Amino acid sequence: MIDISSGGYWFHGTPVTLMSEGVEALLRRCGAPVTGLDLILRTARDIDGSGCIFQSSAVLGVAVWIELFGCTFEDGRHEGGAWSVFLPRER
């Protein structure tokens, strides 16, 4: 995992702090890493109804997951961890 906490990325009011090597390679392949990550975060959809794991296929049609580790969801807000971006096979 790659620490991207200094990049200033936010998702649903919580910082995005980690990105996998697989996502980094995908973003390099598309040629626009910053724009690609922004697009992934903007188009992500909740995949299990928990509000803790989302999926986007915005970059080259490849599924990317965004997960809030340490997530509990109470009173309409997240408690715990920070978001990580990774390929499902890297989980």
Q: How confident is the model at residue 74 (pLDDT cuts 50, 70, 90)?
A: low
Q: How far apart are CA 34 and CA 27, in angstroms?
A: 8
Contacts of 22 (CB under 8 A, 6+ apart): 86, 87, 89, 90
pLDDT tens for each residue of 27-72: 999 887 778 999 999 999 999 888 889 999 999 899 999 998 766 5
Q: How confident is the model at residue 78 (pLDDT cuts 50, 70, 90)?
A: very low
User: Quick one: tokens of 91?
Assistant: 């989980």
Contacts of 3 (CB under 8 A, 6+ apart): 17, 18
CA nearest neighbour of 81 among 5, 9, 14, 6: 14
pLDDT tens for each residue of 46-55: 998 888 899 9
pLDDT score of 69: 77
Domains in the chain: boundaries: 2-90
Report the chain's C-alpha Rg in angstroms.
12
pLDDT score of 80: 55
Q: Compare 80 and 41 and report the one with higher pLDDT.
A: 41
